[in-house]
Amino acid sequence: MPGFEWFGEEERREVADVLGTGVLMRYNFDAPRQGHWKARELEAALRERLGARHAHACSSGTSALAAAMAALGIGAGDEVIVPPFTFVADIEGVLLAGAVPVFADVDETLCLAPAAVEAAITPRTKAVLVVHMCGAMARIDRLADLCRRRDLVLLEDAAQALGATFQGRPLGTFGAAGCYSFDFVKTITCGEGGAVVTADDEVYFRAQAYTDHGHDHRGNDRGAETHPFWGTNHRISELHAAVGLAQLRKLDRILETQRHHQGTLRVAAASVAGVKFRELPDPAGDSATFLDLLLPDAGLARAVAADLPKEGVDGAFYWFGNNWHYHRQWDHFKTGASPAPLWQQKEGLLDGLSTLDLPASDAILSRTVSLQIRLGWTPDQLATRADRLAAVLQRHLS
C-alpha cells in the first residue's frame, strides 16, 4: 500500500525545484516561481492517469470530500448514505457539510450493498457516498445504476483505491465526483494531500473555489477575483504537490509490485480449506494494497489476526475492532459529547446513531482479516511470509 516505502531522489528533486524559488504557494507569484507550478502539474498528471476531465488537488482526502460535497450541493439536512466500514473521514465530511449520515450495510465486497442502499433511501436522501475500501471496488456499476434510477448524487471515495479500476475504468470516475487521498499511508503520498476529479465543469469550478475561500481563480490578480460562494482553506502547498508528482510517476510500478506480492500470498492462503476471499466484482482491477480473507467465523478470524504477527506476519488488520475504520468504535460522534455541538446534534438528527446496529455488516467484518501488502519485501521474505501465512491458517482451520 504505502508509497512512502519508495521515497527517494525523484521526490527530493521535485521538492528542490520549489525550495529553489521559495514560492510555496500554488497560486499567483507568477514571476518569482520561475515556471514551477507543481500543483498544476500534479493535476494534469492525475487527469491523464485517470482519464478525468478535471482534477483539483487539495490539502487532504478529507478536504477533497468536503470540497466535493460543497460542489455537489450537499448541505443542511440532506441525507447521505454511507457504509459503516470506511475511514471515519467520510462521516466527518458529511457532518461538516451540515448533512446527516445514514448507514447502509456492506456485503462481501466489503463495500456498500446495493440492496441495503436502496432500502435506506428516504425523501431526504441526496447522495450515496460509495467508498472503495482496501484498494478494490464496490459494485460500482450497480450502485451507479441505482443512483441514476433514483435520481441521487453518486460520490466516490477512492482514497484507498488510486490505480484500481472496474472493467478498465478508474475507480473515482464513475460518480459525479471522485475523491483521493495522498496522506502518508496511501498508495502514493504527498505527506498530506488529496484530489477531487469530475467530468462536470461547474462541479470542478465550485470545488476549486471552495478550497480557496471561494476565490474564482479567474485571471491572475487575486485582488480582482470575485467570490461566487463561500469556501475555506483546503489548499495544497507546492511542496506537497511536488512530492505527489514524483510519486504518481511510480504508480504503475507500485501496482505491479503490489499485485505480484498479493498474488503470492493469495495462492498460499487459498491452499488452506475453508479460506475465502473478499468478493471482487472485477478481480483484474484490484490495486492489491491488501489481501482480504473471509474466515469461517469470528472466533477464528480473531485468533488468526492475533497469531499472524507472532509468526512474523505483520500488517494483519482485524477491522471489526478497529478505531478508525468500523462504526462500532465511533462513539465520539454517535453520542454527541462535543464541546461545540453540530446543528444536526442540536436538532436531534443524529440521535439514531447511538443505537446503530448493523448485524449483516458485523457478520462480514467480524470474519474479515486483511493483510497489508508492502512494496519492500525481498523474494525470500515474500516466500517465507507466504509459508507462515499458510501454516497459521492451516493450524486454525484444520
Active site residues: 186
Q: Return the number of the residue (41 or 157) whose C-beta is nearest ligand PLP.
A: 157
| 24 phi, psi to nearest 5 deg | -95, -5
Nearest distance in Å: CB 83, ligand PLP:
10
Q: CA 278 to CA 291: how far, in whole Å?
A: 8
CA nearest to 325, candidates 111, 165, 166, 163 = 111
Side-chain-side CA neighbours of residue 280 (13 Å): 20
Window 153-172: residues binding ligand PLP (CB under 6 A): 157, 159-160
Tell me whether residue 14 or residue 157 sits nearer to ligand PLP (CB atom): 157
Cα 161 from Cα 287, distance rounded (Å) = 7
* Choice between 125 and 181, CB closer to ligand PLP: 181
CB of 199 to ligand PLP, least distance (A): 21
| Least distance from ligand PLP to the Cβ atom of residue 34, Å | 29
**Helix residue ranges per DSSP H, the chain:** 9-21, 38-50, 61-71, 89-96, 114-120, 140-149, 201-210, 238-248, 251-270, 298-310, 331-334, 343-346, 359-365, 379-397
Q: Is 86 in the site for ligand PLP (CB under 6 A)?
A: yes
Query: 194 and 205 in contact (C-beta within 8 Å)?
Result: no
Burial class of residue 157 in the structure, from the number of CB atoms within 10 Å of its CB (0-12 exposed, 13-18 middle, 19+ buried): buried
Give yes or no for residue 61 binding ligand PLP (CB under 6 A): yes
Under the binding rule (CB under 6 A), the answer on residue 181 touching ligand PLP is yes
Least distance to ligand PLP from the beta carbon of 379, Å? Answer: 29
Task: Fill in the DSSP letter of residue 389.
Answer: H
Stretch that binds ligand PLP, among 3-11, 60-68, 224-232, 307-315 (CB under 6 A): 60-68
Q: Does 289 bind ligand PLP (CB under 6 A)?
A: no
Q: By beta-carbon distance, which residue lies closest to ligand PLP?
A: 61
When the beta carbons of 152 and 159 are compared against ligand PLP, the nearer one is 159
Over the window 300 to 329, marking each residue x when it contacts ligand PLP by CB under 6 A and - when it does not, the resulting string is ------------------------------
Q: Is residue 90 at the binding interface for ligand PLP, with CB under 6 A as the rule?
A: yes
Q: Which of 97, 99, 100, 131 binds ligand PLP (CB under 6 A)?
A: 131
Q: What is the closest distance, in whole angstroms, from the C-beta atom of residue 194 to ligand PLP in the complex? A: 5
Q: Taking contact as CB under 6 A, which single stretch among the options 27-35, 59-67, 110-118, 336-344 is the one that binds ligand PLP?
A: 59-67
Cβ proximity to ligand PLP: between 78 and 183 the closer is 183
Distances (CA, A) of 169 to 129, 162, 172, 374: 18, 12, 9, 25
Q: Per the structure block, which three cell numbers stand in for 297? A: 467465523
**Any contact of residue 377 with ligand PLP (CB under 6 A)?**
no
Angle at 379 between CA 374 and CA 383, to 5 degrees: 90
**How many CA atoms are closer than 13 Å to the CA of 223, on its beta-carbon side?**
1
Residue 160: CB minimum distance to ligand PLP, A: 4
Neighbouring CB atoms inside 10 A of 35's CB total 8
Q: Which is nearer to ligand PLP, 239 or 270 (CB)?
A: 239
- Our finding on whether 194 is near ligand PLP (CB under 6 A) is yes
Per-state percent for the chain, helix, strand, coil, to nearest 5: 45, 15, 40
Nearest CB to ligand PLP, comparing residues 155 and 269: 155
Range in contact with ligand PLP (rule: CB under 6 A) among 20-28, 54-62, 118-126, 363-371: 54-62
In the complex, what is the shortest distance from the CB of residue 161 to ligand PLP, in angstroms, rounded to a whole number? 8
Q: Is 60 in the site for ligand PLP (CB under 6 A)?
A: yes
Q: Is 183 in the site for ligand PLP (CB under 6 A)?
A: yes
91-97, long-range: CB < 8 A, 24+ apart: 91/330, 91/333, 92/62, 92/65, 92/333, 93/62, 93/65, 93/66, 93/69, 93/129, 94/69, 94/129, 95/333, 95/342, 95/344, 96/66, 96/69, 97/66, 97/69, 97/70
Binding site for ligand PLP (CB under 6 A): 60-62, 86-87, 89-90, 131, 157, 159-160, 181, 183, 194
